[in-house]
A and B are shown apart, each in its own frame.
Chain A
Amino acid sequence: MATTTIKSSKQATLPVGSIILWIILLIGVWAAIVRYSQGLGSTNLADSRPWGLWIAFDVMAGVALAAGGFTLAAIVYIFRMKRFYPLIRPTLLTAYLGYLLAAGSILFDLGRPDRFYHPFFYWNHHSVMFEIAWSVILYLSILTVENSQLVLEKFRLHALLRIVRKITIPVVIAGIIISTAHQSSLGGLFVLVPNQTHPLWYTPILPVLFYISAISVGLAMVIVESTLSAKAFDRPVESHLLSEIGSWLPTMLGLYLLVNLGNLAVSGKLGFIFEGSLASFMYLAEIIIGVVAPLILLSFASIRNDSARLFQSALLVVFGVIFNRFNVLVWGQNGAFYVPNWVEFAVTAGLISLGTLLYIFAVKNLPVYTDHTPEPEQISEEAPLPAAG
């Protein structure tokens, strides 16, 4: 049985990694103590730079990277491409942890974390942030339902499991709707600041760009995360599935490039690309490394069919979107020079370690990898199905 292989292998590969993760987590806990005892003054955030690493990376990039959850759910459950079923559980679990960590980092970034629940009681329907706050809370609930199968199966709570499986389709569709709303709205936040955002990144269609890039990076993250966990848990890589996902990426990246450059051309801003400023350099780096390079690389079947090179190409997409969020949020905004300080870095690193440790714990204890035959009573419309068209 596959589960036994996992058990025997993880003892060989994980301890050193786990110890490092625990150390990073403990440093993060120390940074958290500093932040909560001294306030936000313990960071490099300032009046001229109200948002920094935590919002740019933990929230903006983190939520985009977790977009694989709703994208793959759409592919498997709505588009009925059931051959991707083996990837759905690890992807939904990663998405869940990603959103939990993004929500967790908001508790660090909010000036008054003790009032985190205020959006429930005080509404401002004009605010894009209000919409995002509600969307993230709702999508976290959706991910809780979707991931509850892992726990329900583990403890053989079949009555509840049957209910969860019955409502799978509506839940998945709700997740797609909510994700579409907030992935795009994260870009919408900056539609409000035309005068502070560099023209290379300011556009009224920023929500569209954020949405397309979220889907691209969500798919790329499925490749990255599946390859990494295959290595960590000494499992075979689902290479034919990953290379098929890789074959969709050039289309998504091409669409992104087309909308991005087309929009700059239509608004007469192409000249900014070559103005030779730091911003133009950042823009070029982001587009060439994060979009053009993987677009070309993944157009070759020989690269897509080579696990290592597929992984590296997907990593470029991930890098590109993280870079893009930093550009829009930090370097593309007017304001003082900003580099995060150790508290900000340590909290971020600590949260990533925590997520990784939780993932390892879940894989060890829950049926995340479903290459075992499902028990008869578990088979329903949405239960694991063998590879089929």
Chain B
Amino acid sequence: MAVNRRDFLKLAGAGVGSLVLAAGHTEPAAAESTPEEARRHPSMLYDTTLCVGCRACQNACRNWNETTAELNSEGMYDMPTDLSGSTWTIIKLYEEETAEDADAPGIFSFIKRNCMHCLDPACVSACTVGAMQKSPEGPVIYDVNRCFGCRYCMVACPYKVPRYQWGTTTPLVQKCTFCFGYVQPEGVVDDKNRLAQGLGPSCVEACPTGALSWGPREEMLEKAHTRIKSAPGKYYEDRVYGEHEAGGTLQLVLSHVPFTKLGLPTLDPRPLPSLTDPLNWSVPGIILGVGGLMSAIYVNRSQAEFKTKED
């Protein structure tokens, strides 16, 4: 279905979609958003203590986004073990074996992995052709028509989220879109865009235990901090993963085991693009500096030549 902007604004005004301010995300995408701007951006909170690992989210994602099922060597449906070009979210299990008895249940935790939807994403900064975009509405989305497959986004992402379709001759980079769909031409809304239909992501809808919550980022952060306050010591370091990591993310995680055990890296609060932005801004300096220096040397040396010739 195609929803035009006016229809969408009506829809948005009516439902949960009021989170999202506009739907046609072909406007020159915002390169980043500040935590202040992101307060009303749609956000997902995942709580490991509430997750039972049923993987309903994983299947809901596959069904809604129509990603192909992963088959084993016998051609039968098999459970994927990691994110891939056709698995945009996955539940993994971390388990600590107790030293005394290998069979006794140790400390364990599920972890749902998907795109973290950074406020200032490294992949967006890295993308040669601007195919990865930070939508003004918040989610990090992808333009299938721009991407030429350099895969710098995959190198750049600190969470190792973007995955490639290795098995085809016309591959795309694939990752969770927060059910916001791909970048569309002006005025067209992707029929995979659940946000435009006033719905939250399919994984949140499918979660039976409340391990996934969905709402504006400031509300999700408030909810997370309320949970931490009501049970001090229950959550690792009493903090929310994603609140400050690499400038903050729209995907937030509460965990009762160390985040690194769940494959979530320890990151500085500094947004990653701020590391490389000075490099590109130095180009005019290189042009003037190197150009000026070389011209000066040339003039100096050829004058010396001229003099020796005259003498």
Contact = CB atoms under 8 A, between A and B. Distances in A.
Contacts of B72: none
B295 A39 contact: no
A47 B83 contact: yes
Given A47-B154, A124-B130, A78 B124 contact: no
B128 A177 contact: no
A97 to B, nearest CB: 23
B39 interface: no
A185 interface: yes
Interface in B140-179: 146-152, 154-156, 158, 160, 163-164, 166-171
Nearest to B164: A47
A126 interface: yes
Interface string A53-86: 0000000000000000000001001111000000
Interface centre among A36, A173, A176, by most chain B C-beta atoms within 10 angstroms, is A173
A111 B302 CA distance: 48
A174 B291 CA distance: 7
Given A131-B280, A188-B276, A111 B164 contact: yes
A126 B286 contact: no
A203 to B, nearest CB: 11
Contact of A193 (B156, B163, B295): B156
Contact of B169 (A37, A176, A181): A37
A207 interface: yes
Contact of B128 (A45, A113, A130, A188): A130
Contact of B171 (A39, A48, A125, A128): A39
Interface in B263-296: 265-268, 272-273, 275-277, 279-280, 283, 286-287, 290-291, 294-295
A51 B152 CA distance: 8
Given A180-B290, A389-B308, A128 B126 contact: yes
B126 A79 contact: no
B228 interface: no
Contacts of A38: 169
Given A39-B167, A50-B164, A110 B129 contact: no
A296 interface: no
A195 B246 CA distance: 11
Given A39-B169, A180-B290, A169 B148 contact: no
Contacts of A48: 160
B298 interface: yes
Interface string A329-344: 0000100000000000
Interface residues of A, number: 58
Contact of A79 (B272, B275, B297): B297
A373 interface: no
Interface string B8-35: 0000000000000000000000010000
A143 B53 CA distance: 59
B151 A127 contact: no
A196 interface: yes
A41 B166 CA distance: 5
A122 B171 contact: no
Contacts of B57: none
Interface centre among B128, B280, B290, by most chain A C-beta atoms within 10 angstroms, is B128
A174 B272 CA distance: 31
A74 B276 CA distance: 28
A39 B149 CA distance: 12
B166 A39 contact: yes
B125 interface: yes
A32 interface: no
Nearest to B174: A47
B129 A118 contact: yes
B127 interface: yes
A119 interface: yes
A196 B129 contact: no
Nearest to A39: B169
Given A176-B290, A177-B291, A196-B158, A112 B147 contact: yes
A130 B129 CA distance: 7
Contact of B275 (A116, A173, A174, A191): A191
A152 interface: no
B171 A191 contact: no
A127 B82 contact: no
Nearest to B296: A78
A192 B301 contact: no
Given A119-B129, A173-B294, A191-B275, 10 more contacts: A79-B301, A80-B302, A127-B152, A128-B276, A133-B128, A176-B290, A177-B290, A188-B279, A192-B272, A193-B122
30 contacts: A41-B167, A45-B166, A47-B82, A47-B84, A47-B164, A50-B164, A80-B301, A110-B149, A112-B147, A112-B148, A115-B148, A118-B129, A122-B131, A126-B125, A126-B273, A126-B277, A127-B152, A128-B279, A131-B279, A174-B291, A177-B290, A177-B291, A192-B122, A192-B156, A192-B273, A194-B275, A196-B155, A204-B275, A207-B279, A333-B155
Interface of A: 36-41, 45-48, 50-51, 74, 77-80, 109-113, 115-116, 118-119, 122-131, 133, 169, 173-174, 176-177, 180-181, 184-185, 188-189, 191-196, 204, 207, 333, 389
Can you list the 4 inter-chain pairs with the closest CB atoms, starting with the nearest?
A: A111-B149, A115-B148, A124-B130, A122-B129
